[in-house]
Structure 1
Amino acid sequence: MRGWTDGTVILIDDRLTQAQRRVTVCHETLHIERGIIPADALEECRVERLVAERLITTEQLIDALRWQRHPSIAGLADLLWVDRVTVERRLESLTPAEQAQIDAAIRDVA
């Protein structure tokens, strides 16, 4: 477990990397904001998606994709200061409009 909250205090594993701490604080903060504590598996999935959307804007994702000649999840995570799961959730949750924006931006670079 990377972090935990009771709704007022957030505890974080002190062995986490900077990126993992960033994701964990955002994750636990969203639990507090949503008021769903403890969370079931469905709520955890929702929060993971919301964390990804909050920490990785479409513009940031475009910039990260432009920086990498051959994008990888690990490389994107490093550039975006998040963990791999957060990148995966963000890519999975792209709206058609966001995907079109990314496709157009990447096509313009190529």
Structure 2
Amino acid sequence: MLVQQSFTQLPETYTELYFVGTPGIRAGTVTAGVALVHHGPGTLDYTVEASLATASVNGLARVRRQVTLQPTQPETVTFTLTIPAGTAVDALAVNSLGSPEGLHFHLTAAASPTGHTP
């Protein structure tokens, strides 16, 4: 008897979105690699947006990338976002515009090579 890979039934067409490595903070910027994999027929064009957030403000330093996905072929996008001067960012959000896929990463001292958030 075979064990199913998932107990959740996946739709016929869907897209995976995930971080490649741990997003990091260095010299006033946040850098994150994001991979997308389209499962379904034909190519698919995506707009992927990354933004920073503080405890009280979302959507700081937005950066958008266009990507064309081929079925089952991973595509990696790297985002570099400049932290606004005098701002202590708390989180990184990555969203695929027009679809439900999204990621959220809480930036902590562990993400910073200096051991503290900016």
TM-score range, shorter chain: under 0.3
Q: Name the TM-score, length of structure 1 as normaliser.
A: 0.25
Q: Name the TM-score, length of structure 2 as normaliser.
A: 0.24
Asked which structure has the greater CA Rg, the reply is 2
Higher helix share: 1
